[in-house]
Amino acid sequence: MVILMVVKEAKKAVEKKVKEIKAEKKEVKVEVKKEVKPKAKENQGKAEPKVLAPTKESKVKVEKKVDVKKDIKKEITVEPKKEPAPIKAKEKQDKVADKATSKTPTKAVRKTKSASKKVKKKYVLVKAKRKTAIATARISEGKGRITINKKPIAVIDNKHLYNLVREPLLLTNNFKNGLINGVDIEVVVRGGGFMSQIIASRGCISKGLVEYYKDDKLKEMFMKYDKSLLVDDARRKETKKQLGTGARAKKQRSKR
């Protein structure tokens, strides 16, 4: 409403000024185009007087007044402000994508990006089982860190279990000194008891080392030392039967 009021007032002001300019224009034209009419009796036989042409000064005044009118219109006309239409989410995404594509990186920038990409490390995934225990190991390039369920081997209290886990590591060191120092081993074990978990993780480590280095001599050495390092034990607990406490045991029978 306020904008409409302002526009109406502006139009009225423009109309007033246009009327004033037209009135001034008419006066100038009347002054310029006045002709001197010769008298019939007095000017007989004399040359006809020349009609006064409009001077340069009068033309300039008229032109200036016309230009002033245009300037006034430009100054006074006030257009109502148009509210921008709401931009949709898809249009925003398209605009962002266009900006991203328009800014193509130079060759130098592309080179730096390719150089900054990390080189993928070599790694091996291995699986081993013992009874209901299942162990999975990830062997990759590293600094000789060995963990079972995110805990280092040194945490194991039982010396017998600790020695069982270390067997494949000691054998690889005897085969070639420093092989284990360039490798990280992460073992995850689920299910079974503590003994079956240790044997499963032991088999997982030995399998992983053979696959990582792909050395037949190392494989032969493991097989000669202990076959269970590379081959999973297929034995399982026999199921319990009726009329007894276990798979084969029966209740004591009395004859009397």
Q: Name the DSSP letter for residue 176.
A: S
Q: Quick one: pLDDT at residue 29?
A: 56
Class for the domain spanning 123-229: alpha beta
Directed axis angle between helix 194-213 and helix 216-225, to 10°?
Answer: 150
CA distance 119 to 117: 6
Q: Quick one: pLDDT at residue 87?
A: 53
Directed axis angle between helix 194-213 and helix 159-175, to 10°?
Answer: 10
Structure confidence by residue, pLDDT tens digits, 41-54: 444 555 555 545 55
Which helix (H) or strand (E) is 72 found in, with range? helix 56-76
Residue 86 predicted with pLDDT over 60 = no
Residue 111 predicted with pLDDT over 60 = no
Q: Which of 87-96, 101-110, 151-160, 225-234 has the lowest mean pLDDT?
A: 101-110
Contact 147, 185 (CB under 8 A): yes
Considering 32-36, 96-100, 189-193, the range whose residues carry the highest mean pLDDT is 189-193
Q: Which of 84-93, 148-157, 175-184, 208-217 has the lowest mean pLDDT?
A: 84-93
Residue 203: partners with Cβ closer than 8 Å, 6 or more residues away: 128, 130, 135, 228, 229, 230, 232
**φ/ψ bin of 150: left (φ > 0), alpha (ψ from -120 to 50), beta (otherwise):** left
pLDDT bin (cut points 50, 70, 90) of residue 37 is: low
CA distance 190 to 154: 20
Residue 204 predicted with pLDDT over 90 = yes
Q: Quick one: pLDDT at residue 65?
A: 47
Structure confidence by residue, pLDDT tens digits, 112-138: 555 456 677 889 999 999 999 999 999
pTM confidence score: 0.52
Task: In the chain, list all ranges with CATH 3.30.230.10.
Answer: 123-229
| Mean pLDDT computed over every residue of the chain | 77
pLDDT bin (cut points 50, 70, 90) of residue 252 is: confident
Q: Which residues pair with 141 in a beta bridge?
A: 183
